[in-house]
Structure 1
C-alpha cells in the first residue's frame, strides 16, 4: 500500500479539469491510464525524470475505480485531497452543501484516532 501514490493521484487529478471530468465519467479507465502513464513521473520535474516501481495494490485500485472515498480515507488518503477532488466531481449533483454533508455522513463511522495519513 502506498499512501503517497494515493495522495499523488488525488492531487494531480484534482488540478486538471479535464482529468477531473475523465475520472468522473470513467474512473476505472482513468485509474488504469494514470497508473500506467503518470504514477512514476516525479512531481515538479520535466517529463524525462521518472521512477519505475510505483503501483497501486488491488484494494487501492478498486477504491479509486469506484469513487469509494470512505475506503480511500481508511487506506490513509488525505481527507482534504479526497474532499476537494470529490467536491469538484460531485458537488454539481447536490444542492447547497449537499455533497459535503453526504461526504460527512459516509465518513461518520470513523472515530478518533483517524487512520494514519502520513506519507
Structure 2
C-alpha cells in the first residue's frame, strides 16, 4: 500500500479536466490507464521512472468505485478526495453543498484519532 501513490493519483486527476471526465465516465479504464501511463512517472523526469509501484487490489477497487470512505481508511488525504469529488459529483446535486454534506456524513463514523494521512 502506498498513501503517496493514492494521493498522487487523486492530485493528478483532479488537476486535469480531461482526466476528471474520464474518471467519471469509466473509472476502471482511467485507473488502468493511469497505472500504465502516469504511475511510473513520479516526478516528471524520465530518469526517475519506476516499475515497482502498484495499487493494491483494495486501493484499485476503492478508486474504481469512487469509495472515498475506503480511501480515507487507507490513508488518502481527505482534502484531495474532497476536491476531486467536487469536480466529479457536485453538478449531480440540486442543492448547494449537498454533495459536500453527503461526503462528510459518510465519514461521520470516524472518531479521533483519524487514520494517518501523512505521506
Q: Give your verdict on TM over 0.5.
A: yes
1:118 CA displacement: 1.0
- RMSD over aligned CA atoms reads 1.0
State the match for 2:12 in structure 1.
12
Q: How does 1:1-119 map to 2 (within 5 A)?
A: 1-43=1-43, 45-47=44-46, 49-94=48-93, 95-119=95-119
TM-score normalised according to structure 2 size: 0.95
- In the alignment, the residues of structure 1 paired with residue 25 and residue 65 of structure 2 have an alpha-carbon distance, to the nearest angstrom, of 11
Partner deviation per Cα, 1:45-93 (whole Å, 9 max, x = no partner) = 3456411111000000000000000000000000000000001000001
> What is the aligned residue count?
118
The runs of at least 4 aligned residues of structure 1 exceeding 3 Å deviation read 46-49
1:37 CA displacement: 1.1
What 5-or-longer segments of structure 2 have no aligned partner?
Answer: none
- In the alignment, the residues of structure 1 paired with residue 115 and residue 45 of structure 2 have an alpha-carbon distance, to the nearest angstrom, of 33
TM-score normalised according to structure 1 size: 0.95
